[in-house]
Amino acid sequence: MKTPILLLSLSLMMAPAAASASPWTSDINCSGSTDVVDVMLAVTQALGFPLSENLDADGNEVPDACEPCASVSLPPDPSLWYYFEANPGDLNSLTDDAVIAMLTSDPNHPLAGRIGRVRTLIWGMVLAYRLNAQGHIDPNSGGQWLHGEVTDPATGQSYDVIHWKDIDDSSFSFYFIGDEICEWYYEN
């Protein structure tokens, strides 16, 4: 009788977790390791029981540790320049060609993943219209990428920021904790 439950638990642990940062993990509670708690969570999920409020305070069936942005709160308009008081010189700049090279050579690098996601999200709104005759985005006539870290002055929470500075003074700022986008902001 123990064997079917053990096999079910192990098979669930090999399946994608509903909300973890990595799509395939056995670390169901996002504690950083796989242990008996993950096995118990797999069994609990298999039986259809809800997660404990101790693990899932908001009741969305995703362990809170798997949602790093759930416990942070940025204001409605988190301007990189005004709210965070960042200066363009505080951030590192990259051309779009450098971003494409990074995405090609090291797609698993955290910065490549973040910029790749942002690039995909704003492609149809902005980037597709910034291509020059050679099919590239020239920093002088299209815009540039900025990236770095900012700290919320109200809470002290640090965010990795990916910022697209467009040629027409509009821009997009995306605030990350790990690989999760916590907030994004468009300013003109």
pLDDT in tens, 78-135: 898 899 998 878 899 998 899 989 999 998 898 999 999 999 999 988 888 888 888 8
* Domain positions in the chain: 2-66, 88-187
14 vs 147: CA distance, rounded Å: 35
Nearest CA to 159 among 186, 184, 125? 184
On the question of pLDDT at 15 being above 50, the answer is no
On the question of pLDDT at 184 being above 80, the answer is yes
Mean pLDDT of the chain: 81
> φ and ψ at 185, to 5 degrees?
-145, 135
Which tops the pLDDT comparison, 9 or 184?
184
Dump pLDDT digits (tens) for 22-51: 455 678 887 778 888 888 888 888 888 888
- The sign one gets for the Cα dihedral 84, 87, 92, 95 is positive
pLDDT at 139: 76
87 vs 82: CA distance, rounded Å: 9
On the question of pLDDT at 21 being above 60, the answer is no
pTM listed for this prediction: 0.69
pLDDT at 24: 52
Nearest CA to 96 among 132, 148, 136? 136
Question: b vs e for 103-116, b when ≥16 Cβ sit within 10 Å of the residue's Cβ?
Answer: beeeeeeebbbbbb
